[in-house]
């Protein structure tokens, strides 16, 4: 039915065009932002999940930074403690050589041992990373190294796991140079070559002290090595976990650009056809009115 009061065709065409324009606006927004769920109004459930997971991923990134810093400290200490162990091994060899040697040879060996003692002290002092030295007690109460290794969230409950290195296992020397695992080895001479009568007895005692120190150094190196291995494993795991979270979040909120591009072209054609349809509907209305003017 034709009516001069209501142009039904034009209203239908306008509604269709408005709907197309709305879809076109949504598609253009997805293409420009890269998201199909950019705000809570797009999909409240997906947006909420994605927001929480993105927040967790930022926390994981901070954990990875902590592991990187911890790795530097542990690697430095591990290298140094192995060097100290090698130096103590060398002292052991020198002492065995000095056992029963002539007074002149013992004097030379004592001089060599003094140089090794100085090298041990230097290795410990230089085992510093970011202001932290795991091998040297700074005179304060020794505290274990605790490296943040994971961030775990269950609902609103959060727990933090750490990789621990016991100070008691790694305190090779104190600032005074007399305490720690090797402090006793550096404090005094192992034997006095001028006292040939008692030199061999002193050497036997020194060898016992050296063996004790080597055992503790091996324990410290093992502790640091275990921490180093765990840090490397955790860093790799967190990197993969972070990638998986990114992929999961992307599947929830990212726009399919191929699909949206194709849809954009179709909607642009549909928009042009809608404009033409509205123009035709309005044209028909004008034709009816012209009959009355004539």
- CA 60 to chain centroid: 7
Backbone angles phi, psi at 141, to 5 degrees: -65, 125
Contacts (Cβ under 8 Å, ≥6 apart) of 251: none
Per-residue model confidence as pLDDT tens digits over 13-28:
678 777 877 877 777 8
Backbone angles phi, psi at 171, to 5 degrees: -75, 90
Backbone angles phi, psi at 147, to 5 degrees: -105, 120
What pLDDT was estimated at residue 291?
Answer: 47
User: In angstroms, rounded to a whole number, what is the distance separating the alpha carbons of residues 110 and 119?
Assistant: 14
User: In angstroms, rounded to a whole number, what is the distance separating the alpha carbons of residues 119 and 182?
Assistant: 12
What pLDDT was estimated at residue 140?
Answer: 62
Per-residue model confidence as pLDDT tens digits over 121-169:
999 999 999 888 999 876 565 678 999 999 998 888 889 999 999 988 9
What pLDDT was estimated at residue 196?
Answer: 62
What pLDDT was estimated at residue 5?
Answer: 47
Residue 77, Ramachandran bin (φ over 0: left; ψ between -120 and 50: alpha; else beta) = alpha
Contacts (Cβ under 8 Å, ≥6 apart) of 210: 88, 91, 92, 95, 185
What pLDDT was estimated at residue 142?
Answer: 62
- Alpha carbon dihedral 30, 34, 36, 39, in 10-degree steps, equals -100
Burial class (CB in 10 A: 0-12, 13-18, 19+), 174: middle
User: In angstroms, rounded to a whole number, what is the distance separating the alpha carbons of residues 239 and 245?
Assistant: 10
What pLDDT was estimated at residue 1?
Answer: 45
What pLDDT was estimated at residue 285?
Answer: 54
Check the CA dihedral 112-114-116-119 and report its sign: negative
Sites in the chain below the pLDDT cut of 70: 1-8, 10, 13, 138-142, 195-197, 281-294
3-class SS of residue 140: coil
DSSP, res 131: T
Buried b (16+ CB within 10 A) or exposed e, 122-142: ebbeebbbeebbbbbbeeeee
- Comparing C-alpha atoms, which of 222, 221, 127, 137 is closest to residue 180? 137
How many other β-carbons are positioned within 10 Å of the β-carbon of residue 55?
11
Give the tokens for residue 9: 């065709």
3-class SS of residue 157: strand
């Amino acid at each position: 039915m034709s009516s001069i009061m209501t142009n039904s065709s034009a209203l239908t065409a306008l509604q269709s065009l408005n709907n197309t324009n709305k879809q076109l606006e949504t598609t253009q927004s997805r293409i420009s932002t890269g998201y199909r769920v950019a705000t809570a109004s797009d999909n409240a459930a997906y947006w909420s999940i994605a927001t929480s997971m993105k927040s967790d991923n930022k926390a994981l990134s901070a954990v990875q930074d902590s592991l990187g810093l911890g790795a530097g400290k542990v690697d430095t200490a591990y290298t140094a403690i192995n060097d100290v162990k090698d130096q103590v091994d060398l002292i052991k060899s020198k002492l065995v050589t000095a056992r029963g040697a002539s007074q002149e040879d013992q004097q030379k060996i004592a001089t060599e041992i003094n140089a090794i003692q100085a090298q041990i002290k230097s290795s410990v002092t230089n085992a510093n990373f970011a202001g932290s030295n795991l091998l040297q007690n700074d005179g304060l109460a020794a505290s274990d190294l605790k490296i943040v290794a994971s961030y775990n969230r269950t609902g609103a409950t959060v727990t933090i796991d750490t990789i621990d290195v016991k100070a008691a296992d790694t305190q090779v020397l104190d600032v005074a140079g007399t305490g720690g695992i090797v402090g006793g080895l550096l404090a005094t001479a192992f034997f006095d070559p001028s006292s040939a009568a008692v030199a061999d007895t002193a050497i036997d005692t020194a060898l016992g002290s050296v063996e004790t120190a080597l055992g503790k150094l091996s324990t410290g190196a093992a502790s640091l090595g275990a921490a180093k291995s765990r840090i490397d494993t955790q860093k790799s795991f967190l990197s993969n976990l972070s990638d998986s979270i990114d992929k999961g979040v992307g599947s929830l909120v990212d726009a399919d650009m191929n699909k949206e591009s194709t849809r954009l072209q179709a909607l642009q054609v549909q928009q042009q056809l809608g404009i033409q349809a509205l123009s035709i509907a309005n044209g028909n209305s004008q034709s009816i009115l012209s009959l009355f003017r004539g």
